[in-house]
Amino acid sequence: MPLKLDLLGQRITEMVQASAAEDRGRWVERARQLLDSVGPEQLRAKLEERVVRLPWLVGIPDGGVNGAFEVQECPSSFSVVAADGSYIAPDRHSPFRFYVLNTGYAVLTYGRQPSAVLDSSAQLYFQEQDLYLDPLVRSAPVEGARLSAKMCLAEMRALLEAAERVEGRPLVALRDGSLITWGLQTEDPAFVQERFLTEFLTYLERFDALGIPLVSYISYPGARDVVNSLRVWLCTQGDMDCARCPSADVEQFCRALREIRDRELFGFLQDGERSDVFGSKSAILNRYGLHRIHFFYMNVGGEVVRLEAPQWVTGDSQTLRLVQALIYDQARRSAIHPPYPPALQEAHEEAFISGSDRRLVQLLVERSLAERGFVYSGSAKSGSKRRRGV
């Protein structure tokens, strides 16, 4: 039955009114003024010397905080490699428990000899050790955050393998989404450490050894790390007890900052410019060792995006300039506005599993069963969704 939109209309209006406060622009402007007034050394010290654990993620400045760095010229020839993934999750209504990971990649080479390689690879997992983190007792099934982690590893593997086949340099490797695997923080440490992070860090090491900068691209980022750092800068208390804030003025500004995202704060960046680099304080990064993730923001021409990279990328000014130039060049070549890197778009297109392909996989499973004399008609619930008779 059609959704009763009349029941939602009023609530939508209320929701929009609540978030689009008229004085939001004024608070963003005040936040930028605060950013300009911050002493980076003092902020770094204040953030790192805190003994009380902060309730939010903060960004620790590597250098300055309010810089705007112009984009440099691109090399005459270069390549960009990108990978993405898509999966078919285990279906409770299927006769078998399995999942499919599909990875797609794109290698785009520009300059004297332009070329493109686009491809994908699919893998079906059905064995006990694939389906459960503890197959003996069938506990911790691979789904949700654990399946996303498996997908992340498959994408990294695809990205590395594609990058290894590229002979030309310079080359930058791009991923969509974050390199900070915070989704695993609540998972069993043994899994995180032994099964996921070990392999994940192996890929980062390999990129480092090959001298290929690895960067993740986050469009429309929701992060507030730098804004949160400003809240710490504002705070006059030692234990961040917001309920007992002694200053009404600070409290009001701090509350307003809570609603502002980093992408708005760095809205002052001009076309092609990037911000200063910040280090993330996410707890999972303590396990990253030499590959700790840092980030910066960049105006790619129509959008301020967040770029994350291991410290061996952001710590080298020449590499950082190259990354900025190539990301901006990708944005310039985008066919859509706001721009999105064509390499990532094509990798996504390669990885995408359509609804008809999903149904086809299920059909292949059922057909294979039928060839062995088993007729599976599906669960009554899934059948009721497929055959919606009246």
Partner 1 sequence: MRIGEIVESTSTHFVAESLDLGRPPELGRLVKVHLAEDRDLCAVVCHGETGSLDPGRRAVRRSTEEVYDDQVYREHPQLEHVLRTQFTSLAVGVIDKEVVHQGLPSQPPPLHYSVHGCDEEETTRFTQDLYYFRLLLGVPVRIPVELVLAGHLRWVYRGRGHDEEWLQVAAREVAKLLKQDYERLATVLYAIERDT
Q: Of 102-110, 151-159, 209-217, 271-279, which part binds partner 1 (CB under 8 A)?
A: 102-110
From 70-78, 112-120, 260-268, 271-279, span contacting partner 1 (CB under 8 A) = 112-120
106 counts as binding partner 1 under rule CB under 8 A: yes
Q: Closest distance between partner 1 and the C-beta of residue 345, in Å?
A: 9
By three-state DSSP, how is residue 251 classified? helix
SS3 121: strand
Q: Is 120 in the site for partner 1 (CB under 8 A)?
A: no
Residue 327 makes contact with partner 1 by CB under 8 A: no
110 part of the interface to partner 1, by CB under 8 A: yes
- Residue closer to partner 1, measured from CB, 109 or 178: 109
Stretch that binds partner 1, among 45-53, 103-111, 165-173, 204-212 (CB under 8 A): 103-111
Measured N-to-C along each axis, helices 145-164 and 198-210 cross at an angle, to the nearest 10 degrees, of 20
Rounded to the nearest whole angstrom, what is the least distance from the CB of residue 79 to partner 1 in the complex? Answer: 10
Helical H segments across the chain, by residue range: 6-19, 24-37, 40-48, 128-131, 145-164, 189-190, 198-210, 225-234, 248-257, 262-265, 311-314, 317-332, 342-351, 355-371, 380-386
If one asks whether residue 349 binds partner 1 (CB under 8 A), the answer comes out as yes
Residue 115 is a binding residue for partner 1 (CB under 8 A): yes
Name the residue type at position 309. A
Q: What is the DSSP letter of 269?
A: P
Token pair of 297 as six digits:
């923001």
The yes or no reply on residue 172 touching partner 1 (CB under 8 A) is no
Rounded Cα–Cα distance for residues 355 and 87 (Å): 12
Least distance CB 253 / partner 1 (angstroms): 44
Q: Please tell me whether residue 86 binds partner 1 under the rule CB under 8 A.
A: no
Cis bond upstream, residue 170 (ω within 30)? yes
**Count of residues that interact with partner 1, criterion CB under 8 A:** 14
Q: Which of 43, 346, 351, 365 binds partner 1 (CB under 8 A)?
A: 346
By CB neighbour count within 10 A (0-12 exposed, 13-18 middle, 19+ buried), where does 267 fall?
middle
* CA distance linking residue 204 with residue 179, whole number of Å: 10
Smallest CA-to-CA distance from 31 within 372, 267, 376 is with 267
Instruction: Give whichever of 106 and 153 is closer to partner 1, judged by the CB atom.
Output: 106
Residue 104 makes contact with partner 1 by CB under 8 A: no
Binding residue for partner 1, selected from 108, 163, 323, 327, defined by CB under 8 A: 108
Supply angle C-alpha 170, 172, 178, rounded to 5: 165
Binding footprint of partner 1 on the chain (CB under 8 A): 106, 108-110, 114-116, 118, 333, 335-336, 342, 346, 349
